[in-house]
């Protein structure tokens, strides 16, 4: 009887030990699954973040391309139109001045006719770069308005400030010293500029600002080119 009891105890102990080992193995399996799941989740999150970053970068690149002039690398006409409307509305709300500079490369048709269109494109690029170097305050915008015309928006800038920027543009483009033997203004590439600054009133439109700057540009051309008229 005592011998059978001992066998029962051994069987019970063996069974308990087996259950304990089984429990440990099960817990290890669970822990292993948790570790694998955690690693998978970490990898999925990492892939998602990387994918979102790539999408954001691609979107930013497409947006930048849609706002940039393909030749000169500065803002294009579409982005200029949008920015001018926004800055005009802001100036109207805050009763602050808005400045605008409209410029035209002097005798550019003669440049193209005599140096070729490839050289004309290179000339436009150099002039745009010179303008961009001057007009680089964060709220300002330099854009290609069309053909050989460039334009600058100068938010919160009075007449004195606009005149100062316009003068700096004249000097920067002269300093580039791009030869132009066929110009009627100088023996280098120059620009004529029309500038305005005003505090807009109710009813002031973007078209009015552009027409006012264009009228000043016309005066610069009539008075001999290579100058700024405010």
Q: Are 146 and 75 in contact (CB under 8 A)?
A: no
CA distance 89 to 205: 9
CA distance 104 to 151: 9
Q: Where are the beta strands (DSSP E) in the chain?
A: 98-105, 141-146, 149-155, 191-198, 228-229
Catalytic residue among 148, 171, 211, 222: 148
Q: Are 97 and 156 in contact (CB under 8 A)?
A: yes
Concatenated DSSP letters for 130-169? HHHHHS-STT-EEEEEETTEEEEEEET--HHHHHHHHHHH
Concatenated DSSP letters for 54-71? HHHHHHHHHHHHHHB-TT
Task: Specify whether 26 is catalytic.
Answer: no
Q: Are 100 and 151 in contact (CB under 8 A)?
A: yes
Q: Which residues are catalytic?
A: 148
């Amino acid at each position: 009887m005592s011998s059978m009891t001992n066998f029962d105890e051994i069987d019970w102990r063996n069974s308990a030990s087996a259950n304990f080992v089984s429990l440990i193995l099960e817990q290890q399996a669970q822990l292993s699954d948790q570790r694998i799941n955690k690693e998978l989740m970490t990898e999925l999150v990492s892939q998602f973040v990387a994918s979102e970053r790539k999408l954001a970068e691609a979107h930013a690149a497409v947006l930048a391309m849609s706002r940039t002039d393909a030749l000169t690398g500065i803002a294009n006409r579409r982005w200029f139109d949008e920015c001018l409307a926004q800055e005009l509305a802001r100036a109207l709300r805050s009763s602050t001045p808005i400045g605008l500079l409209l410029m035209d490369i002097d005798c550019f048709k003669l440049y193209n006719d005599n140096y070729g269109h490839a050289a004309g494109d290179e000339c436009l690029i150099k002039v745009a770069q010179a303008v961009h170097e001057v007009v680089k305050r964060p709220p300002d915008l330099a854009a290609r308005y069309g053909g050989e015309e460039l334009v600058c928006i100068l938010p919160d800038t009075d007449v004195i400030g606009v005149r100062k920027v316009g003068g700096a543009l004249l000097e920067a483009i002269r300093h580039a010293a791009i030869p132009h033997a066929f110009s009627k203004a100088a023996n280098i590439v120059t620009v004529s500029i029309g500038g305005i600054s005003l505090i807009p009133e109710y009813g002031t439109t973007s078209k009015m600002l552009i027409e006012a700057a264009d009228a000043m540009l016309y005066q610069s051309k009539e008075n001999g080119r290579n100058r700024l008229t405010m």
